[in-house]
Amino acid sequence: MTQKTILRALAGERLPVPPIWMMRQAGRYLPEYRATRAQAGDFLSLCYTPELAAEVTLQPIRRYGFDAAILFADILLIPQALGADVWFVTGEGPRLSTITDAAGVTALRPADQVHEKLAPVYETLRILSRELPRETTLIGFAGAPSTVATYMVAGRGTPDQGPAHAMKTADRVAFSALIDRITDATIEYLSAQIEAGAEVVKLFDSWAGSLKGQDFDDFALAPAKRIIAALKTRHPHIPVIAFPREAGPRYAGFAKATGADCVALDQSVAADWAAAHVQTDGCVQGNLNPALLVESGPRLVDETRRIARAFAGGPHIFNLGHGITPDADPDNVSRMIEALRG
């Protein structure tokens, strides 16, 4: 049996102390990350320079001893590999050329042609496979198709994913074709990450909560099910974590419906509710509010322990409800880990 605690939890084992890692654990809250980012020159250069991407992936492992390292990359590398123009505006975030109709979808590259552009990502994983501590699990990831589509349609992040919803309403066939193209590319991308050394992969659906009813079934649940089924066919023993953020009551049953080995939870759902309705199907991950890593005081320790207690009856990976924010205090991360392990 594997001794890696993340893999044990994903296999359904209840552990006395849950393993821990953080979304965006390699990032702007760490001074060593900011130094490496400056060395790279810009964000995309950092993603596409394997030695530097591996370095920032390793930095939080050296500092905190997390149980897992997650590949440093970005969900928008897939649109770029499919042929979209992608660039980052300092202080404002990503910008993309837009896809708004069927012709735009047709013009994208086939899914099996993404690997040349993404080859540096696979090299980063190979470096990490060699350099990570033996006890540390290596996690690969991709954005879920509906979330990636919101950026491809709007050309940037939006507060309500309005442009994607407008395209979905105006031409559901074209929008579905875009989802299918991203789904196919994501299967290829994650499969190649596994071949390069990823021991777990995670599907980030950051805007799943904006999909309701049949839209959630068609564009959040169904693509996740197809991706996971394809990965399980190619790599039967690789666990998959799904994160349909802000899914609310739709978290219940998501693992069974998609085949995911674990469901990651955001902080908008109560841990007690999730233990009763989501953890019954297997491993859960989450779900501390990232804001607690910004403020000082006893609430961070109290909430960390409360969440661990709530999920103590089954398999649990401790994590945040979303990514750690740039204004988080690095010392608070140490306090959180001590509260969990100490």
Residues of the chain where predicted confidence (pLDDT) is lower than 50: none
Q: Which residues contact 127 (CB under 8 A, 6 or more apart)?
A: 50, 51, 54
Domain 5-341 annotated CATH 3.40.50.720: no
- The catalytic residue among 24, 181, 245, 250 is 24
- The catalytic residue among 151, 184, 226, 335 is 151
- The catalytic residue among 33, 64, 74, 261 is 74
151 tagged catalytic: yes
- The pLDDT of residue 2 is 64
42 tagged catalytic: no
Q: Which residues contact 73 (CB under 8 A, 6 or more apart)?
A: 47, 53, 121, 124, 141
- The catalytic residue among 14, 28, 95, 126 is 28
Domain boundaries, given as residue ranges, for the chain = 5-341
- The catalytic residue among 8, 33, 37, 205 is 37
Q: Are 294 and 325 in contact (CB under 8 A)?
A: yes
| The residue to which tokens 């970005």 are assigned | 74
CA 297, 298, 299, 301 torsion-angle sign = positive
Q: At 265, is the secondary structure helix, strand, or coil? A: coil
Supply 38's token pair.
Answer: 């400056």
- The pLDDT of residue 297 is 86
In this predicted model, what pLDDT tens digit does every residue of 105-149 receive, in sequence order?
Answer: 999 999 999 999 999 999 999 999 999 999 999 999 999 999 999
In this predicted model, what pLDDT tens digit does every residue of 301-323 receive, in sequence order?
Answer: 999 999 999 999 999 999 999 99
Strands 200-205 and 86-89: unpaired
- The pLDDT of residue 91 is 82
Whole-model pTM: value is 0.97
37 tagged catalytic: yes
251 tagged catalytic: no
Supply 9's token pair.
Answer: 């939890």
Task: Give me the percent of the chain exceeding a pLDDT of 90.
Answer: 96
DSSP state of 219: I
